[in-house]
A and B are shown apart, each in its own frame.
Chain A
Amino acid sequence: MSVIKAENIKFIYGTGTSFEKTALDDVSFEIEEGEFVGIIGHTGSGKSTLVQLLNGLLRPTEGAIYLNGRDIWEKPKKIREIRFKVGMVFQYPEYQLFEETVYKDISFGPKNMGLGVDEIDKRVRSAARFVGIPESRLICSPFELSGGEKRRAAIAGVIAMDPDVLILDEPTAGLDPLGRDALLSQIADYHSVRKNTVLLVSHSMEDIARTADRVLVMSQGKKFMFDTTKSVFSKGEELEEIGLRVPQITKIMQLLRKEGIDVDSTVLTVEQGFNEIRRYAADRLNL
């Protein structure tokens, strides 16, 4: 059974005012349990609105969203439970830190869930481990941390709720290349260990190519494509039409192929590209 199912959702901001704007129009899709889904789209394509709908921060104007087969707005009073099940990490989450210590901040979510002290402690420590915050840092004030550490502490605050679905809205924005790589592999590790569903919104095609199984492409409030990462990135021209592009390495391989060099043009990471070119060279030289 699909973990998340969106059925013909439509969302309009400012209904009934002169500022009315349709942010999402008739979007439907299904996400299977344990999948890693990337969401890409041009600025203003409705990505952020979409993810806020998925955890019940916004309510669709039309259509419905099902979590494990149940309409999330079935009981509006119980919407908090949905938010615990669908964990959401916003853009620049480090600006939500507020507690005296990192430990207390990470435990804010679990505490709101009404868990016991021991369970909270267990979750805080395991969440901190996932994002690579050493135990010794847990007693620091969150404001003493470096930018990258703050970001990871904030992400730990959501992971500690142990959600069925983890949504990350541009988690790597504004990080240096090393921090970016580290964070992405931590998220990938988390996904492979916990085996839960992860949705990653990103502007970086490289990040998506590295991590996602399938990619949802949004354009002007509509679902443009929803397919495996390989097949989405094989449609470079269509993506460029809506202001997106394919990962640079994929583009290079596609250009090489155009030039008549017989390489596999569906590679997604630099590593795969390197291996592919080496294979090609080895073939040519009959090594």
Chain B
Amino acid sequence: MPVLMHEPKMRIVGGRIPAVRRMGLVRDITLGQYMPGKSLIHRMDARAKTLLLIIIIVFIFVCRNFISLLTISLFSLIVILMTKISFFKYLKSLKVILAMIIFTGVLNLFWGSGRVLWQWWFLKITEGGVNNAIFITVRIAVMMMVSSVLTYTTSATELTEAIERLMKPLKVFHIKVHEIAMMMTIALRFIPVLLEEADKIMNAQKARGADMENGNVFRRVKALVPVLIPLFVSSIRRAGDLAMAMECRCYNGGENRTKMKIMHFSHIDLFAAIISFLIFCAVIYLNLIYPAVI
């Protein structure tokens, strides 16, 4: 099978693949979470967006009292609403880590000092524990939703481009920034292809009587061998083909490579930076004037 480089790239990077290809294994996985739109957040420069959202996440962890936490959470909520993507989608992103949120929340509940509110045998809930639990739950939830803002409103190509540009200073330490970004792009680009291929091979082995649905864990893992080996073989072959195809088009790394879409900061980014800066200052100020609870 030829390398699928001639396919329109957006089809997969954009995260929407035609219905017919979304079957079996592929069916239940949202690939590439980008949801195209025209909101202010969508229109922001990917670099500015990445940077500001990372700083928001840092500030979620800087908060040490409820008022500053409330401020940054409200700010995040406004950003989320500004994306004009249904809030339901963000809640869905939380579903994946729901177990983790509950686990850490409950664990923190029993972990703390201060006035004892409830006690049974060796378990006790303290005021500090309740505060810890609230903080950790809010922090994880907001962090997850804010990262979703980035992945929902930025296409994979823009995102890797932004990461490449933001990591450029690391070149000083001889880190191959362009190569890392290219590898990320290729990895993302080929996830759907690999899933589709895995699906095909699984069907072929099932047709020969491979039983993947029944049996204990050990048997099921063993049943994957007939799928994984062909998958690895074809991945390696495809990697070779892809390298050849890239060289045929004179790819030789990031040197002197020009871009089709040039990123530029606009007034939206400036505006976003100013607002964020003010919010960050407010958080620091609120942190200082009110007593810390954790």
Contacts and interface: CB of A to CB of B under 8 A. Distances in A.
Partners in one complex: yes
B20 A109 contact: no
Interface stretch (B116-124, B144-152, B208-216, B245-253): B208-216
Nearest to B207: A88
A14 B208 contact: no
Interface in B153-181: none
Contact of B225 (A93, A98, A109): A98
Contacts of A17: 19, 22
Given A52-B203, A95-B201, A95-B234, A161 B209 contact: yes
A87 B210 contact: no
Choose among B19, B225, B229 the residue with the greatest number of A CB atoms under 10 Å from its CB: B19
B247 to A, nearest CB: 23
Given A95-B230, A98-B226, A143-B233, A14 B27 contact: yes
B229 to A, nearest CB: 4
Interface in A13-41: 13-14, 17, 19-21, 23
B187 interface: no
A83 B203 contact: no
A57 B203 contact: yes
A108 B22 CA distance: 28
A88 B203 CA distance: 10
Nearest to A52: B203
B22 A19 contact: yes
B209 A19 contact: no
Nearest to B234: A95
A23 B21 CA distance: 12
A110 B204 CA distance: 14
Contacts of A157: 208
Q: Most B CB atoms within 10 A — which of A44, A80, A87, A98?
A: A98
B230 A96 contact: yes
Interface string B189-210: 0000000010011011111111
A228 B204 CA distance: 30
A96 B204 contact: yes
A109 B253 CA distance: 46
A14 B22 contact: yes
Contacts of A13: 19-20, 22-23
Contacts of B206: 57, 83
Contacts of B209: 80, 83-84, 108-109, 112-113, 161
A279 to B, nearest CB: 45
Contact of B19 (A19, A93, A109, A113): A19
A142 to B, nearest CB: 10
B211 A80 contact: yes
Nearest to B228: A98
B8 interface: no
Given A80-B211, A108-B226, A96 B205 contact: yes
B229 A158 contact: no
A20 B27 CA distance: 12
B196 to A, nearest CB: 12
Contacts of B20: 13, 21, 23, 44
A23 B233 CA distance: 31
A197 interface: no
A158 B208 contact: yes
B114 interface: no
Contacts of A250: none
B99 interface: no
Interface string A76-117: 000010011001101011011110000000001100110000
Nearest to B17: A19
B226 A90 contact: no
Interface string B86-124: 000000000000000000000000000000000000000
- Which among A17, A83, A95, A109 has the greatest number of chain B C-beta atoms within 10 A? A95
8 contacts: A13-B19, A19-B19, A44-B20, A83-B207, A95-B1, A96-B205, A98-B233, A112-B208
Interface of A: 13-14, 17, 19-21, 23, 44, 52, 55, 57, 80, 83-84, 87-88, 90, 92-93, 95-98, 108-109, 112-113, 143, 157-158, 161
Interface of B: 1, 18-20, 22-23, 27, 197, 200-201, 203-211, 225-226, 229-230, 233-234
